[in-house]
Chain A
Amino acid sequence: MDFDIIFGNAARAAFGPEAIILALAAIGLNIHFGFTGLLNFGQVGFIMLGAYGTSVAVATFGWSLWVGIPIGLFLALALAVALGIPTLRLHAVMFAIVTIAAAEIIRILIGSTDAIGLTGGPLSVSFDAGAFFDLNPYADGPQDRYGVGTFAFTGQQMWVITVGWLLVALVSFGVFLIIRSPWGRVLKSIREDQDAARSLGKNVFSYKMQALMIGGVIGGMAGVIDAIKTSGADPNGFRPQVTFYTYTALLLGGTATYLGPVLGAILFWFLREWIESFLRQLAAEAWLPGAIADFLEGSEGIISVGMVGLALVLLMLFRPQGITGNRIEMQLDAR
């Protein structure tokens, strides 16, 4: 068993593009769920439109990547408006149902065979992200590695990671600025009691819509990074569990905190990859009975997701405020 490799894999996942995508998705969701109390179960829809908007603009229409990215973000914004206008006035539960359904509808439409001409349908879409990698300042030879030991990235990965984490930092700072303002205070009041906010003269619908749009666009950014990283998009990558992973990361790090979603995303991928690598190594051990080794072989992924789920349950039981949350604030809920 080589713990160096296990740790290297886990660390690469924790700081790699996957964690960046999850962090951005969680930051957006934090504005919806954490600060405004919107039960958005369709965050993956915003990610999907960000990814597909960018991919389709470049692959199908042959536009520049720098046109494709704003299109992806605009589509995420448009989804927020389209979802918000009919549902934000309804009960929170209605909103949850509509968002999860809308995200699935979009995924099924994008992945349908009728959409092959536009989105590639079930075949997925791929494009040339050269415009992005042309700017890569890192040497990207086959031998170039950045990092220590097993924790190392290629030049291309380094470029995605650099831009990605800078974006995460920038977005987090922007969120900090708007949430600490009186605007953010109104969001928190809506989260707790809409009628109280109304009785104090706040237009609740308008604030919820603004929050939905901002969080949606940040989710769209996650999609853009995803599209660039994989040079395309696949409908199977946007199943509902992406939203649930996002919730896991958010709850892990601490809802309604500034750094919670970022820490949560890093930790989520570290744990998941650590467990998966560990199980893979374990399956290769000679002393393990054949039946168990056969079972482990190939199902590491499923087991590691299961373990993350278990971790979430334990977290909710013993530290519901997450890593960075405020325990006292949580307890006030129980009244």
Chain B
Amino acid sequence: MPADRIPSKESAPDDRSSFMDSARRTTEVEPILTVHPKPGVAKPNPILTMDGLRRSFGGLTAVDIDHLEIERGIVTALIGPNGAGKTTLFNLITGFDRADRGRWEFNGQMVTSPSPDRLARRGMVRTFQLTKSLAKLSVLQNMLLGAPHQIGEQLWAAPFRPLWRNQEQANTERADELLEQFNLAHMRDELAGTLSGGQRKLLEMARALMSDPALVMLDEPMAGVNPALAQSLLGHITELALSGVTVVYIEHDMDVVSGISDWVVVLAQGQVIAEGGPWKVIHDEVVIDAYLGRRRAGTSS
């Protein structure tokens, strides 16, 4: 059951000071600061609400979430030690895996038959831990694939170029804009397979944005990326949130998390063990224990 919302000022000062520094004070972020940091807490304007979500593999319960809400328009980090169920949770929500039980609501609508493509068309786009840039297509073609509602993608219209030329042109312009923004414009016509690992991450993120999604879910966007590129990736994530897109991302590195997240959800052994503003969570005893692998029962007494 969702806990009641407590507009407590006393829980927030740490979080506030961090946001002052990062210079991203938007009206979007304000309301979340008043939410009491506690697992499963209700949020003012959730885009994603999960209830009783459970997935087990044999005897291992990978995900077991009573209640979790993701606030709209902010950056939420999903952290937790290895094997905590972060990626499994991503797979469940985006329809790439099937939950044993439980239900979730996206953008105010119940997700009844989760299929990845249908969810993507409804505005939930994800990226993958192992980047899925399409190596044999050019960077531009990769981008164009991300565009939604293409007339030319329907077989009856495909042979007749005039039917889809204008739309293709508009999509190309949009793609060029995004490529420029993500510093990939010079690679536009190269095959995506020739990009470096970090550039592929950038491409995958840019491609996800082609559909103007409501929610972007990034699975370890910073993994295996050199520090300079990682910095630029972080910048893009921040910009995304500023433009009104909700971002959820998985990350290991605590420093990264504290820098750009508005809210942090901590998973351990498939359960939400803590959530709250980044500073709050990072200094949370329970979280530290989970990361260091100490038994939770021992410290919570």
Contacts and interface: CB of A to CB of B under 8 A. Distances in A.
A35 to B, nearest CB: 11
Contacts of A329: 136, 191
Given A188-B136, A192-B136, A200 B158 contact: no
Interface size classification for chain A: 20 to 34
B259 interface: no
Given A182-B168, A200-B207, A335-B193, A210 B136 contact: no
Contact of A177 (B96, B133, B158): B158
A10 to B, nearest CB: 35
A184 B141 CA distance: 11
Interface stretch (A201-209, A223-231, A285-293): A201-209
A178 B191 contact: no
B211 interface: yes
Contacts of B68: none
Contacts of B94: 199
A328 interface: yes
Contact of A181 (B118, B126, B135, B164): B164
A193 interface: yes
Contacts of B115: 198
A328 B191 contact: yes
A178 B136 contact: no
Interface in B2-60: none
Interface residues of B, number: 41
A195 interface: yes
Contacts of A198: 96, 115-117, 120
Contacts of A195: 96, 116, 128, 132
Contact of B158 (A181, A202, A203, A328): A181
B244 interface: no
B166 to A, nearest CB: 12
Contacts of A333: 135-136
A186 interface: yes
A177 B150 CA distance: 16
A183 interface: yes
B100 interface: no
Interface string B99-137: 000000000000000011110110001111000111111
A189 interface: yes
B298 interface: no
Contacts of B121: 201
B128 A332 contact: no
A333 B193 CA distance: 9
Contacts of B81: none
Contacts of B77: none
A107 B127 CA distance: 45
B158 to A, nearest CB: 4
A188 B191 CA distance: 13
A191 B141 CA distance: 14
A212 to B, nearest CB: 12
A174 interface: yes
Contacts of A186: 145, 153
17 contacts: A181-B159, A181-B164, A182-B158, A183-B157, A185-B144, A185-B153, A186-B153, A192-B135, A193-B134, A198-B96, A198-B117, A199-B125, A199-B126, A200-B207, A201-B117, A329-B191, A332-B194
For the complex of A and B, 4 pairs with smallest distance between CB atoms: A182-B152, A332-B193, A201-B120, A183-B158
Interface of A: 174, 177-178, 181-186, 188-189, 191-193, 195-204, 210, 328-329, 332-333, 335
